[in-house]
Amino acid sequence: MRDWPYHSCRFFQRLVLRLFAKWEVVGLENVPPMGPLIIVANHQANMDPPMLVASLNRRVYFLAKSSVFSNRFVSWLLDAYGAYPLDRDKDMDIAAYRWVIKQLREGQPVVLFPEGTRSPGGMIKAKSGFAQIALHTQAPILPIGIVGTENMGPWVRVFFPTGRLKINIGTVFSLPDVQGKPSKEIIDSFADMIMDRVAQLLPESQRGVYGQQQDAPSEAP
């Protein structure tokens, strides 16, 4: 019963996407049907989380900046929707870190936007804490490229999304198990590698700081 806000919002978002936008989801078969999953995506607009909720066939959880939890009702609604507050002013929000690990240990998919803020002009350098979570939990990682939301603007556009919107889902992979405590250099290297996978799912013009990586074949539209 507690899940009704999530499913209601997903139904509404799918409806308006079909009515007003050219909405496309590619690679849905790559989403594991069960088990823990770290979903890593680029972040261009406030539209991105509801787009992922509407596009994926699993109930997902995600972090949201703490400032949007503005009152008790909004906090309740966001909690029911699957969001947990993240303090962006901290280098490492321990409470949010532990919450993500708890969801993964319970077999849930968690969406992370490692850039830490919206980057409609192209991907920016990610914060590497998410790679530390991936190493610690050894949960599978699913890269996703979100295309078309860079022009969405204010959050109210979730009610009338327009244009060509695409969710490009890559293939699942895992990080190698590192013995002992990984160094910052190792964590940063893994973070870049994961974000490179996300970048390959985007048009070259949206890859930003990850646009120089040409190691993997492009899966972008």
The string of DSSP letters for 30-46 reads: GS-SSS-EEEEE---ST
Q: What is the pLDDT of residue 215?
A: 45
**219 found inside a domain:** no
**CA R_g for the chain:** 17
**What pLDDT was estimated at residue 147?**
97
Q: What CATH number corresponds to the domain at position 38?
A: 3.40.1130.10
Residue 136 lies in a domain: yes
Q: Which domain holds residue 203?
A: 4-210
pTM recorded for the entire structure: 0.91
Active site residues: 43
Specify if 23 maps to a domain.
Answer: yes
In three-state secondary structure terms, 22 is strand
Structural domains of the chain, count: 1
Q: What pLDDT does residue 213 have?
A: 54
Question: For every one of its 221 residues, what pLDDT tens digit does the chain have, with 9 covering 90 and above?
Answer: 568 889 999 999 999 999 999 999 999 999 999 999 999 999 999 899 999 999 999 999 999 888 888 888 889 888 988 999 998 777 678 999 999 999 999 999 999 999 988 999 899 999 998 999 999 999 999 999 999 999 887 778 888 899 999 999 999 999 998 888 889 999 999 999 999 999 999 999 999 999 875 444 445 55
Residue 94 within any structural domain of the chain: yes
Residue 76 included in any domain: yes
Strand partners, 84: 63
